[in-house]
Amino acid sequence: MMIKKLPRNRAGRDWVVGDLHGCFELLRRLMKTIGFNPQTDRLISVGDLVDRGPDSHLVGEWLAQPWFHAVRGNHEQMALDAMRNPLEDLDRHLRNGGRWLSEMPPAERDACVAALAQLPLAIEIDSEVGKIGVVHADCPGNDWSALAERLAANCPSAEDYDTLLWSRERVFDRGAGHVNGVALLLVGHTPQDHAIRYDNVMHLDTGAVYGGKLTLFCLDDFVEVSLPAGSEHAARYQLH
Active-site annotation, residues: 75
Give DSSP secondary structure letters for 57-124. GGHHHHHTSTTEEE---HHHHHHHHHHH-HHHHHHHHHHTT-HHHHTS-HHHHHHHHHHHHT--SEEE
Task: DSSP letter for 146, please.
Answer: H
**Angle between helix 86-95 and helix 74-84 axes, rounded to 10 deg:** 140
DSSP state of 229: P
Q: For strand 201-203 and strand 196-198, is the pairing parallel, antiparallel, or unpaired?
A: antiparallel
Report the alpha-carbon distance of residue 237 to residue 90 in Å, rounded.
16
In this structure, the number of other CB atoms found within 10 A of the CB of residue 12 comes to 15
Q: Do the Cβ atoms of 96 and 78 come closer than 8 Å? A: yes
- Using CA atoms, how far residue 106 sits from 110, 112, 117, 189, in Å, is 6, 10, 16, 29
From start to end of the chain, where are the E strands? 3-6, 14-17, 42-45, 68-70, 122-127, 130-134, 184-187, 196-198, 201-203, 213-218, 224-228
The DSSP code for 232 is G
